[in-house]
Structure 1
Amino acid sequence: MAHQAHNIAWHALTSNLKFYSPKSPSKDKPTNLYFQFNPNQTDDIRHFAISFAKNIREHTACERKKYLARFDVPNEDDVLLTDATTQKISPLVYKWRHRYHWDLAVPSETKSLTSPSLRRLCTHNDGFRCRCAIPFQERKVSSFLRQYTSNRCYEFFKLNTEAFYNIELVKTLLLYREMEPILRVCAHPNVDIEEWQSQAQCYCEVYDAGWDIVYESALNAYLCLNILYEFPALWDSTSSSSKLADYRSTKLYQRTLRTCTYSTCTSEIAKYPHRAFFGISDDQFKFGQNNMPDIYSIHSAGKYFEDEKNFPYGLAPIEDFLSSKKHEVEYLPDIFAVAVVRDVLRLKSLPEELVYDVMERADYTVKRRLIYPDDPFHPGNRDELQRYLKYCWQLVVNCNMMAEELEVSIEWDDLIYKFLSTFLSSPGGRKIGSFYLFD
């Protein structure tokens, strides 16, 4: 049963879909779920969207009641991130500072005055010159009030590096469901988080720097897997191994998998939880790069199309889709492998803090949550799938909570329509037609 089936009208949507796998899939006719254009399809989709948006609003209101109804305006010198919160999020902050290619990623040894620390709290007063994941100054309210500066091409990191670091911290708090510091800083009249909702390095680049990528990635994964839940013939034990009836070979699943996990984008933070669930390494899917076998590539004038619109989703079986150097990039330990290594270090009589510090510095953390890899609907992955769907839903709700605190409206109907028209298919490319939740 789909997640929250009692509140969201999944069947109203999926009753208008049918699985179709051509003998020779192509860009125009991929293996996918197709709209059937039944007489009531438009009304059914609208009913689904209304129920979905209504459920977000209701859950947002419920979650908001867990915190103070009104937060006082904080002083700029107040410490916003508590010691506990800082220690909780530091490993992920340390990870993305190493991943990024910008001035604040990993300061060079010549600039560094101190030794790096993961779980020990920063006590330095040298700003970003120390190598701590979260410098002490960056825990204060003042750092979260940095303003976005409009920039021309190639000037994003020159003008917005420190502000970008701050918004990456906000996204990290969202991933860890640490909402109180976010709600506290949103009470300040000078907070500029709204300006960072949708941002790019410049106007001619992909908009992949804002916090909208957090809820869009979570929403897309949530929609994809719940829609597939309504088609058990594609994943149950009697048919999941069939090449003609495998949900993993659909454009819907493959596009979701890749777009929720790809790398080489301005901000990769939103991709981390999805990589961990699907078992995708940090460099497996690179934005704008097609590593699939040539027989699936789409050509024009002898050149490969590598953009998202023309990527060959739904053309290849899952084995070929995942063939892009999956096992050559890095080993992806699951929760059991991590537990074994942790126990071995403990047997060496290392202090508990040092055990975690060693594992995190070696980046030996859980990178694959599925017990049975590459198959979320495997019966042995059922519990993990349910936890993941719940987590994605919570991200959507928490992003909506932050938006409401900023008096920003997220247009969930537009996002749902965008997903349905982009990830699902229609006979002959027929448009499903736009819809509005409120006329």
Structure 2
Amino acid sequence: MHQSHNIAWDSLASNLVFISENRAITPRPRRTDFFPRGLPSQANSLNHFARTLATTIRTFSDTERAKYPAHYDAPLTGKVFPDTTLSRYSNLPYPSVTPRNQWLENWIERAGPDIEYTTSQGDLADVVKVLLAENQLDQLLMLAQHPRVPLHRLHYLSWGHSFGWDHAMQWALDAYLFFNVLLSKPELHADGRYKSLHSYRIVRGLTASMDYDAQSFPHQEFFFGEVGHNGPIENLDPLADSEKLHEYLKMCFRILYRYDMLARECGVDVDWEGIVARAPLGSSGR
């Protein structure tokens, strides 16, 4: 399991048990999945897990932030991301990484005199998600500090469903929790038995296409081999290549601490223990 020397994965995994067609779950069909054991110590164990995960993310976030200047100038012109990023993402259907969005002038103009973003700027939130995945933190920190770019207003956006750059964190966290727990249950690995888990459907959610879906790009690349592609999940075998899976988990973790760094730069309070508690696996029986 990833970062097992820092994160108390056993405190989470030991409180989850695999049950096939759980008779306690209605209506039919009965669910096959991980379920809480209901041990007296469960709440304390899960809280301990959440604390160690939160501490580890924050430690890496602080270390990463120290690599960059404390203060940035506020230019009025220039490229927000390089041409290599534009060429990698601009040919996707309904792209947000576009020549227009490459320029800082556009970000300033669209914020207007009130210096405000709304759901009409969902494409800019998508750019933030891409830059987090691409490790273009210098540009993001500049935007976070820019007095005419209200980057924090793109953190959460919703018009019936949400699509702010907080989704980069949520998608990465769901994948990080699920696959680390799955790695702790080797008895489910043979013959693709783990695919019978109700929670395995998370893969479909991680790779789905929707409005402003850039949070799914790194997950699409792992599961389907390219950004902007998805398909049936039944024939996938994400456990087949352990080294590739480990690199995927490392990528998810990097998104988590980069997100934490950027969120705090924007003045967003990140309650990691609460976020973990609300995650599908992190909340089990708490």
TM range (shorter): 0.7 to 0.9
Q: Per the alignment, do residues 171 and 284 of structure 1 end up closer, same or farther by CA in structure 2, a change over 3 Å counting?
A: same
Supply the distance in 2 between the matched residues of 1:231 and 1:139 (Cα, whole angstroms).
44
Q: Is the 8 A contact 2:177 2:281 kept in 1?
A: no
Supply the distance in 2 between the matched residues of 1:215 and 1:377 (Cα, whole angstroms).
22
Q: Are residues 1:166 and 2:28 paired?
A: no
Q: Are residues 1:420 and 2:280 paired?
A: yes
1:249 Cα deviation (Å)? Answer: 1.4
Q: Secondary structure of the equivalent of 1:260?
A: helix
Q: Secondary structure of the equivalent of 1:284?
A: coil
Q: Are residues 1:247 and 2:194 paired?
A: yes
Q: Is the 8 A contact 2:32 2:197 kept in 1?
A: yes
Q: Per the alignment, do residues 27 and 222 of structure 1 end up closer, same or farther by CA in structure 2, a change over 3 Å counting?
A: farther
Deviations 1:383-439 (A, max 9, x none): 101110000100111111111111111222222122236986xxxxxxx24xxxxxx
Q: Per the alignment, do residues 282 and 382 of structure 1 end up closer, same or farther by CA in structure 2, a change over 3 Å counting?
A: same
Identity among equivalent pairs (%)? 25
Q: Is the 8 A contact 1:76 1:140 kept in 2?
A: no
Where does the alignment leave 5 or more consecutive residues of structure 2 unmatched? Answer: none
Q: Is the 8 A contact 1:74 1:184 kept in 2?
A: yes
Which residue does 1:391 correspond to in 2?
Answer: 251
Q: Secondary structure of the equivalent of 1:54?
A: helix
Which residue does 1:275 correspond to in 2?
Answer: 220
| Structural mapping, 1:84-103, within 5 Å | 85-96=81-92, 99-100=93-94
1:149 Cα deviation (Å)? Answer: 4.9
Q: Are residues 1:9 and 2:14 paired?
A: no
| Structural mapping, 1:97-112, within 5 Å | 99-100=93-94
Q: Are residues 1:141 and 2:108 paired?
A: no
Q: Are residues 1:210 and 2:173 paired?
A: no
| Length, aligned pairs only | 277
Q: Is the 8 A contact 2:126 2:213 kept in 1?
A: no
Supply the distance in 2 between the matched residues of 1:170 and 1:144 (Cα, whole angstroms).
12
Q: Is the 8 A contact 2:129 2:215 kept in 1?
A: yes
Structure with more relative contact order (C-alpha pairs < 8 Å, separation 6 or more): 2
Deviations 1:321-378 (A, max 9, x none): 63xxxxxxxxxxxxxxxxxxxxxxxxxxxxxxxxxxxxxxxxxxxxxxxxxx611222
Q: Per the alignment, do residues 80 and 185 of structure 1 end up closer, same or farther by CA in structure 2, a change over 3 Å counting?
A: farther
TM-score by length of 1: 0.58
Matched residue type, 1:180:
D
Q: Is the 8 A contact 2:152 2:268 kept in 1?
A: yes
Q: Per the alignment, do residues 143 and 6 of structure 1 end up closer, same or farther by CA in structure 2, a change over 3 Å counting?
A: same
Q: Is the 8 A contact 1:93 1:169 kept in 2?
A: no
Q: Is the 8 A contact 1:16 1:37 kept in 2?
A: yes
Matched residue type, 1:259:
G
Q: Secondary structure of the equivalent of 1:72?
A: coil
Q: CA RMSD in A?
A: 2.6
Q: Secondary structure of the equivalent of 1:33?
A: strand
More helix by share: 2
Supply the distance in 1 between the matched residues of 2:211 and 2:283 (Cα, whole angstroms).
23
Q: Choose 1 or 2 for highest CA Rg.
A: 1
Q: Is the 8 A contact 1:92 1:172 kept in 2?
A: no
Deviations 1:20-68 (A, max 9, x none): 1128896674111110111100000000000000001000011111111
Supply the distance in 2 between the matched residues of 1:149 and 1:75 (Cα, whole angstroms).
19
Where does the alignment leave 5 or more consecutive residues of structure 1 unmatched? Answer: 107-131, 151-155, 286-320, 323-372, 425-431, 434-439
Supply the distance in 1 between the matched residues of 2:139 and 2:211 (Cα, whole angstroms).
24
TM-score by length of 2: 0.87
Q: Per the alignment, do residues 16 and 64 of structure 1 end up closer, same or farther by CA in structure 2, a change over 3 Å counting?
A: same
Q: Is the 8 A contact 2:172 2:256 kept in 1?
A: yes
